[in-house]
Amino acid sequence: MKRLGFSLLLGILMISQSVKADEGMWIPMLLEKYNIEEMQEMGFKLTAEDVYSINQSSMKDAVMIFGGGCTGELISDQGLLITNHHCGYGNIQKHSSLENDYLTDGFWAMSKKEELANPGLEVRFLVSMEDVTEAVLKDVTKNMTEKNRQILIDKNMNSLIESSGKDNDYEIRIKPFFHGNQYFMYFNKVYKDVRLVGAPPSAIGKFGGDTDNWMWPRHTGDFSLFRIYTAPDGSPAEYSELNVPMKPERHFPISLKGIETGDFTMVFGYPGSTEQYVPSYKIDMTMNVNNPVRIAMRTRILDVMKASMESDPLIRIQYATKAARVSNGWKKWIGENRGLKRLNAIERKQSEEAEFRAWAENGKYDGLIEIYETEYNALIPTERIMTAVVEALNGMELINLASSSRGLIQYSKNDAPEERIQTTVESLQSKAKGFYKDYHQETAKEITKTLIDYYMQEIDQAYWPESLLDIEKKGLDKSIDKMFKKSLLANEADFMDFLDGYKGKYKKLEKDPIYNLYQEFVQIYLSELSPTYNTHHAVIDSLDRVYMKAQMELRKDKIFYPDANFTLRVGYGQVDHYFPRDAVKYKYFTTLEGIMEKDNPEIYDYDVPDKLRNLYENKDFGQYADEDGQMHVCFIATNHTTGGNSGSPVIDAEGNLIGINFDRNWEGTMSDLMYDPEMCRNISLDMRYALFIVDKLAGATHLIDEMTILR
Ligand code: ARG
Ligand code: ASP
């Protein structure tokens, strides 16, 4: 293949694309129109109505948004739900301490009484959706300025929400599709009493840790269990001891039958965001501006965190969630860049653009690509600095606390009523308490040093916060040491004391060197960067809308799927192996055998719990073993997924649950921008392994009993 010409290569890719319909994240309401025939050809045995219906209960009634960015699904008629371990991670961590280290040891409620409440955690079920394009775009005209257009759209949306919300207590959201060419309104039911039921030890739920993250072959038991509670009458309610387990109309039966290459699979969940229809310039900017800056800065953060976490078990708990978050993006962007390069993504987009230009010549879309070029060229220098500022602000954890302190300063300055100040102090106290639980001063200090160092090396002085000039003069180490010594925010006892007897002396906080650094960065952000950044992004957004529409006009025979936007979607494909590189074939499943191969008590990520080792040695797999006698752990398929799809049900041809989606393979992480059927795979946990852990490892058989299991 090496010497194949580019257009020939493109031809091959396009042919294989049309044979396997794996790409795409489809709208459940429109399956009947666009997809169901193909799904059934691929083996699906159910109807579109079975998946999504507003007239009868359907599969969608068992799928939910879990928390702020994951998917979950119901697996019993008592409100039991399953999602990923990494989706429940923050909540498991909140219940963890050195004494009760649920992160390390796992947690299993042996009765409903032992289930743990999670204030702030919500799940949302889609009740129905509606195309509201006409109403949202009412009175919008071609000649409007972008700004006026947006004002009108916002107004239309607000009145739509208001009039639709009158007769019900659903949460209503309107989301743009196809870059603002279409709008859908969503009615959700929100449940707020969601309790932790079970989580495997991290050595299972996060087995392989950040080392194996984004990779296949994978052996992570990435699941956790929660339960939804409702008011006694079944309606959604805030946490209360009087609440009862939810009685849902629908939950997924679980199939233990096993899977094979070519089997139909469907992923039903909430993909967060993709950019499939952008021009080459955007890909170029992602590959050569955003990703390199983010990767470089996060490499620095991770080096510091890793060393700290290895030095002390308490720091490991404190920084576990933070490190996972930082590492997750870092690794994805590295994989994404490699994938885009391998696909010649920029060149492919350019050749599409050449075709588009020829088609658009002298018509209403003439010159569109050229404006893109001008805009991206003008944007890039600012984009680069903006990326560095954002990474720096997110990376220095005290900045987060500084930003939460801003309100107190403002209220005090403006002589707000005493009561207002008191509640602000109280909420800051509670915020600070949570913050310091996971704060280690030395670690935070080293991260600050290395990020400031990067910034001073890479970013033009014109965009430096003033403090940096001083730091340059006096030396990085010395200055940051001093900053941390002097800062209220950096010292738990000082800050808590300050808040405890708060006497309105906001100036002390306002002059805090870390608060000050935060303010200076914000200043740069607002006055030096945002204006240029926003201007160009606004133009690009409107170009995206027009380009999207134009692409749909040019390729009339193609059925387009809208970019992901964290609304409920269906992806379908099949179980399949792949060839990651020359001479290497990756099978579609992994087994417990592979966990034992990786077993290494010396390495945190690969330290197999004794109990699991014993089950393995005794081949005590119960009803969960595959036909081949092995315990299958994970499998891959060709479903098009992205961030937010974590926890999504992976469903077989009969509509039964066979897996929980939790990741993609590294060779396929560019699928947010360009999907490659040869290389892109979603990674799922085999339900049989999850149940094996619940049953055999945890002995939580009461949970197995409430599930519907098909053998
Ligand atoms: N890569 C997966 C996703 O984007 C899993 C992330 C959590 N796991 C981790 N080791 N950080 O969410
Ligand atoms: N791991 C991702 C998530 O948490 C899924 C993905 O990006 O493939 O949603």
Q: Is 652 in the pocket of ligand 2 (CB under 6 A)?
A: no
pLDDT for 573 beyond 60: yes
Relative to the CA of 327, which ligand 1 atom is closest?
Answer: 11
Using most ligand atoms within 8 A of CB, pick from 212, 319, 328, 330 the residue to mutate for ligand 1. 328
Does residue 589 lie within any of the structural domains? no
Specify the higher pLDDT residue, 301 or 21: 301
Q: Is 282 in the pocket of ligand 2 (CB under 6 A)?
A: no
Relative to the CA of 663, which ligand 1 atom is closest?
Answer: 2
Q: What pLDDT does residue 7 have?
A: 42
Relative to the CA of 645, which ligand 2 atom is closest?
Answer: 9
CA of 206 to the centre of ligand 2 (A): 14
DSSP 656: -
Candidate from 15-29, 320-334, 445-459, 639-653 with smallest mean pLDDT: 15-29
Q: What pLDDT does residue 502 have?
A: 93
Q: What pLDDT does residue 21 have?
A: 61
Q: Would you give the distance in Å from CA 523 to the centre of its chain?
A: 29
Q: Is 316 in the pocket of ligand 2 (CB under 6 A)?
A: no
Q: Which of 158, 163, 165, 162 is nearest to 136 (CA)?
A: 158
Token output for 416? 């707000």
pLDDT for 603 beyond 70: yes
Does residue 447 lie within any of the structural domains? yes
pLDDT for 399 beyond 70: yes
pLDDT for 16 beyond 50: no
643: Cβ contacts below 8 Å, ≥ 6 apart = 69, 271, 272, 273
CA of 196 to the centre of ligand 2 (A): 21
Q: Is 645 in the pocket of ligand 2 (CB under 6 A)?
A: yes
**Is the Cβ–Cβ distance between 171 and 123 less than 8 Å?**
no
pLDDT for 690 beyond 60: yes
Nearest alpha carbon, ligand 2 atom 2: 643
CA separation (Å) from 621 to 297, 339, 463, 628, 708? 44, 38, 60, 12, 19
Relative to the CA of 208, which ligand 1 atom is closest?
Answer: 10
CB atoms within 10 A of CB 475: 11
- pLDDT tens-digit map of 295-338: 999 999 999 999 999 999 999 989 988 999 999 999 999 999 99
- pLDDT tens-digit map of 461-492: 999 999 999 999 999 999 999 999 999 999 99
Does residue 186 lie within any of the structural domains? no
Q: What pLDDT does residue 317 have?
A: 86
Mean pLDDT of 563-573: 98
Nearest alpha carbon, ligand 2 atom 1: 663
CB atoms within 10 A of CB 396: 22
Any idea which ligand is nearest the CA of 661?
Answer: 2
- pLDDT tens-digit map of 509-548: 999 999 999 999 999 999 999 999 999 999 999 999 999 9
pLDDT for 366 beyond 50: yes
Q: How many CA atoms lie within 13 A of 683 on its CB side?
A: 28
Does residue 479 lie within any of the structural domains? yes
Q: What pLDDT does residue 20 have?
A: 53
CA of 668 to the centre of ligand 1 (A): 14
Residue 705: φ, ψ to 5°: -60, -30
* pLDDT band at residue 410 using 50, 70 and 90 as cut-offs: very high
Mean pLDDT of 335-348: 98
Q: What pLDDT does residue 9 have?
A: 46
**Is the Cβ–Cβ distance between 222 and 685 less than 8 Å?**
yes
Q: Is 681 in the pocket of ligand 2 (CB under 6 A)?
A: no
CA of 15 to the centre of ligand 1 (A): 32
- Domain hosting 532: range is 280-353+364-539
Q: What pLDDT does residue 287 have?
A: 98
pTM of the model: 0.92
Give the span between the Cα atoms of 116 and 435, in whole angstroms. 21
Any idea which ligand is nearest the CA of 641?
Answer: 2
Q: Is 671 in the pocket of ligand 2 (CB under 6 A)?
A: no
Nearest alpha carbon, ligand 1 atom 2: 663
Using most ligand atoms within 8 A of CB, pick from 663, 673, 681 the residue to mutate for ligand 2. 663
Q: What pLDDT does residue 4 have?
A: 38
Mean pLDDT of 236-265: 97
Q: Is 646 in the pocket of ligand 1 (CB under 6 A)?
A: yes
Q: Per the structure, how many domains does the chain have?
A: 1
For the chain, give the number of residues. Answer: 711
CB atoms within 10 A of CB 520: 15
- pLDDT tens-digit map of 133-191: 999 999 999 889 888 999 999 999 999 999 998 777 899 999 999 999 999 999 999 99
Using most ligand atoms within 8 A of CB, pick from 214, 222, 646, 667 the residue to mutate for ligand 2. 646
Nearest alpha carbon, ligand 2 atom 4: 646
Q: Letter for the amino acid at 147?
A: K
Does residue 545 lie within any of the structural domains? no
* pLDDT band at residue 17 using 50, 70 and 90 as cut-offs: very low
Q: How many CA atoms lie within 13 A of 427 on its CB side?
A: 10
CA separation (Å) from 547 to 19, 277, 323, 365, 534? 27, 8, 38, 8, 19
Relative to the CA of 84, which ligand 2 atom is closest?
Answer: 4
Relative to the CA of 324, which ligand 1 atom is closest?
Answer: 11
CB atoms within 10 A of CB 112: 14
Q: Is 647 in the pocket of ligand 2 (CB under 6 A)?
A: no
**Is the Cβ–Cβ distance between 548 and 181 less than 8 Å?**
yes
DSSP string, 544-605: HHHHHHHHHHHTTTSPP-PPP-SS-EEEEEEB--B--STT--B-SEEEHHHHHHH--TTSGG
Q: Is 643 in the pocket of ligand 1 (CB under 6 A)?
A: yes
Does residue 432 lie within any of the structural domains? yes
- pLDDT tens-digit map of 498-520: 999 898 899 999 999 999 999 99
CA of 645 to the centre of ligand 2 (A): 6
Any idea which ligand is nearest the CA of 684?
Answer: 2
Give the span between the Cα atoms of 564 and 359, in whole angstroms. 28
- pLDDT tens-digit map of 67-122: 999 999 999 999 999 999 999 999 998 898 888 899 999 999 999 999 999 999 99
Does residue 293 lie within any of the structural domains? yes
Q: Is 644 in the pocket of ligand 2 (CB under 6 A)?
A: yes
* pLDDT-above-70 percentage for the chain: 97
Catalytic (active-site) positions: 86, 222, 646
Q: Which of 17, 21, 7, 25 is nearest to 570 (CA)?
A: 25
User: How many helical (H) and strand (E) elements, i.e. helices and strands, does the chain have?
Assistant: 28, 20
Using most ligand atoms within 8 A of CB, pick from 641, 666, 670 the residue to mutate for ligand 2. 641
Q: Is 28 in the pocket of ligand 2 (CB under 6 A)?
A: no
CA of 559 to the centre of ligand 1 (A): 31
Does residue 309 lie within any of the structural domains? yes
Specify the higher pLDDT residue, 540 or 8: 540
Relative to the CA of 69, which ligand 2 atom is closest?
Answer: 9
- Exposed e or buried b for every residue in 143-173, given b needs 16+ CB within 10 A? eeeeeebbebbeebbeebeeebeeeeebbbb
- pLDDT tens-digit map of 609-662: 999 999 999 999 999 999 999 999 999 999 999 999 999 999 999 999 999 999
Any idea which ligand is nearest the CA of 90?
Answer: 1
* pLDDT band at residue 602 using 50, 70 and 90 as cut-offs: confident
Nearest alpha carbon, ligand 2 atom 7: 643
Give the span between the Cα atoms of 645 and 664, in whole angstroms. 10
Relative to the CA of 272, which ligand 2 atom is closest?
Answer: 9
Relative to the CA of 646, which ligand 2 atom is closest?
Answer: 9
Specify the higher pLDDT residue, 99 or 233: 233
Token output for 190? 């929100």
Q: Is 643 in the pocket of ligand 2 (CB under 6 A)?
A: yes
CA of 1 to the centre of ligand 2 (A): 31
Any idea which ligand is nearest the CA of 336?
Answer: 2
Nearest alpha carbon, ligand 1 atom 3: 663
Q: Is 328 in the pocket of ligand 1 (CB under 6 A)?
A: yes
